[in-house]
Structure formats: C-alpha cells, structure tokens
Amino acid sequence: MPIDAILVPRGAEYQAVIAGLKWPTPTSTFAVPAGPVALAAHLALLPKAWQRVLIVGLCGSLAPEYAIGDVVVYEECVQESAVLQCDPELTQALGRAFPTPPVVRALTTGQVLCSASEKRRLGEQHRAAVVDMEGFAALEVLG
C-alpha cells in the first residue's frame, strides 16, 4: 500500500523517526509543527495531491492499559464533539505490520495534559484511549 508522505512533529520525535527508518525509504518524510493550529496552517500550504499520509509521533495514554513505548494505531480521532475516521485500509495495513497493536480512538487537544485525573476524565468523556496534538487537525485538513 503506497504512502505518499510520512509526517512527524519537529524536534526529538522527528529525529527519532529518521534514525529508525530503513534507508533508502520510498516515502518522503517531513518535519511538521506540533499542535493542531500550527499543523493545520502548515498543511494548508502543502500540495493536495497526497492520497495517503502517515503521521508518526508520540501520544499520551488516557487508559491504564497503555504504557510508555506501546504502539497504537488510530481508527478515529475526536476533538470536542467532532469525530473523524482514519483511512480504514491504512489502519488495517498498519495493524498487520505490527505485532497485535491496539486500534484505538484518539483525542486531539491543543494543550499538554499533566494531571492523571484530567487524563482519566477526558478519556472517559471522549471514549478515547490516547491523546495527541496533531491527529484530528491532519484528518481535517488532508481528509
């Protein structure tokens, strides 16, 4: 399944992904700004020809069953009351590429969540397993 681009938040996340990729890679990898507003503005300037984009980065756990370093694959992203579906074919392909990764619902927020009680509350409120700062914005702009 061809992927047109891999997007990774700038900084340490990008450096870690670049270091872990097997070169040469057939897919271009781009550093993008972190956070929903900055990412949406950046993506709006990019070519619209991409059909399939993979976002790789860190997310925080909203559920006790996920620990640091666990791999998850997004099925959908929620922001406030809106829900956007990820590409089902890409989700399935990623699910096959990793040993039994959980397929989860992600919450996108513009702020870093520090409190365990706040994470638990937001996870329950949005029925989300993880939180990130880019997923929903990427789906909204590129979707």
Residues 90-126 pLDDT 10s: 998 888 887 778 999 999 999 999 999 999 999 999 9
**Alpha-carbon gap, residue 47 to 123, rounded angstroms:** 34
- For residue 81, how many other CB atoms are within 10 A of its CB? 6
User: Is residue 76 within 8 Å of 23, Cβ to Cβ?
Assistant: no
Residues 6+ away with beta carbon under 8 Å from 131: 59, 60, 61, 62, 106, 107, 108, 109, 113, 119, 122, 123
User: Is residue 64 within 8 Å of 42, Cβ to Cβ?
Assistant: no
**Tokens 């503005």, residue located:** 41
Parent domain of 44: 5-142
Distances (CA, A) of 15 to 10, 29, 73: 8, 11, 21
**Tokens 């997923």, residue located:** 135
Q: What is the pLDDT, as a whole number, of residue 49?
A: 81
Q: How many domains does the chain have?
A: 1
**Tokens 């989300």, residue located:** 128
Q: What is the pLDDT, as a whole number, of residue 122?
A: 95
CATH of the domain at 88: 3.40.50.1580
**141 — alpha (psi -120 to 50), left (phi > 0) or beta?**
alpha
Low-confidence stretches of the chain (pLDDT < 50) are: none
User: Is residue 98 within 8 Å of 74, Cβ to Cβ?
Assistant: no
Q: What is the pLDDT, as a whole number, of residue 96?
A: 84
DSSP alpha helix (H) spans, 5-100: 12-20, 36-44, 88-97
